[in-house]
Amino acid sequence: MSLSTRSGRSVWLWVGCAAGLALLAAGAFAVGAYPIGGAGLWAWACWRLDLGPAPAPVVVAVIENIRGPRILAATGVGAALATAGAAYQSLFRNPLVSPDILGVSSGAALGAVIGIFLALPVAGVEATSFAGGLLAVATVYGVAYLVRGHEPLLVLVLAGIVIGTLFSAGISILKVLADPYNQLPAITFWLLGSLAGVQAKELALLAPALVIGLLPLLLLRWRIDIMTLGEEEARALGVDARRVRLMVIGAATLLTATAVSIAGIIGWVGLVVPHLARLVVGPAFARVAPAAALGGGAFLLLVDTVARGASDVEIPLGVLTALVGTPVFLWLLATSRRGWG
């Protein structure tokens, strides 16, 4: 296949992914107690561009205050989790690695539970959740730094499992001590994952974190590909493996902690979506990262639309992602070839 043909196919692939994401967003506006169809979206867009009269106030309220922020949050959270998963899988050279491998999710969950237990406002719960995720990874990295004489990646993974278990025990203790009528239901619902009640202020936290987290990963894309060859090979090619590993883990942790602080624990997105992206665009991280971001955003947007439209009671996102992700992962496990890439 010639270079121009391959480039043309890549362009059409990205255009198709972007168009699919736009169609999913339009469909998400049409699902809910007050559906907003294409005519309503067009009238709102024309009004915002000073090209037409203002639509009904309820249309503006639904688009700007309820459904719009939720659609953007679902897309951003899905993109963050999937990109972080792709980075972790490339760094650890293991397709079974997910964003919570270093205890990020457990740490963020413990932070959020502490915030709910202390009756903090929503912003305070998000802040404690974000701090908990960063604290978990800092602890894991500190343990790995103190433990010498072993494979660094193996020590990181084992330390992440241990610290994650410790933080999960802390969550269990707080659930026992929580008020069973107010705090415990809020803790349980948050841990299952949800985007209900997302407002524009959550987007103000998510957008900078996406930029700050994605930019280093894209700048380090070729170094990440070299890291998949192994640390000794990376050093032989002039790559500072330790520095690259620290930067990639920091960026992926920022993405994961931000997503968890906003949406709660949502599994499988960072595990399955990078798999599918790698099957479509190949193993190069420069192509996997944007493909995973688009795929993760589209996947979580679709799941969130189903969660709030399938029944009168909203289904937790963590439940739906597990129902979808488990069979897909088993299919990938059964059909993929041995080896990395």
* Model confidence band, residue 73 (pLDDT cutoffs 50, 70, 90): very high
Q: Cα–Cα distance between 225 and 276 in angstroms, integer? A: 18
* Model confidence band, residue 298 (pLDDT cutoffs 50, 70, 90): very high
CATH topology of domain 26-335: ABC transporter involved in vitamin B12 uptake, BtuC (1.10.3470)
The single-letter DSSP state of residue 67 is I
Residues whose CB falls within 8 Å of the CB of residue 158, separated by 6 or more in sequence, listed in order = none
The answer on pLDDT for 8 being more than 70 is no
Q: Among residues 260, 304, 324, 234, which one has the least CA distance to residue 75?
A: 304
149 phi-psi bin (left φ>0, alpha ψ -120 to 50, beta other) = left
Give yes or no for a contact between 127 and 255, defined as CB atoms under 8 angstroms apart.
no
pLDDT in tens, 126-180: 888 888 988 988 898 888 888 876 777 778 888 888 999 999 999 999 999 998 8
Give yes or no for a contact between 255 and 206, defined as CB atoms under 8 angstroms apart.
no
What is the pTM (predicted TM-score) of this model?
A: 0.88
* Model confidence band, residue 341 (pLDDT cutoffs 50, 70, 90): very low
Q: Rounded to the nearest 5 degrees, what angle is found at the Cα of 79, between the Cα atoms of 73 and 82?
A: 135
DSSP string for residues in 195-217 = -TT--HHHHHHHHHHHHHHHHHH
Please report how many Cα atoms fall inside a 13 Å half-sphere around the Cα of residue 338, on the Cβ side: 0
Give yes or no for a contact between 144 and 159, defined as CB atoms under 8 angstroms apart.
yes
Q: Cα–Cα distance between 316 and 336 in angstroms, integer? A: 30
DSSP string for residues in 306-326 = HHHHSSSSPPPHHHHHHHHHH
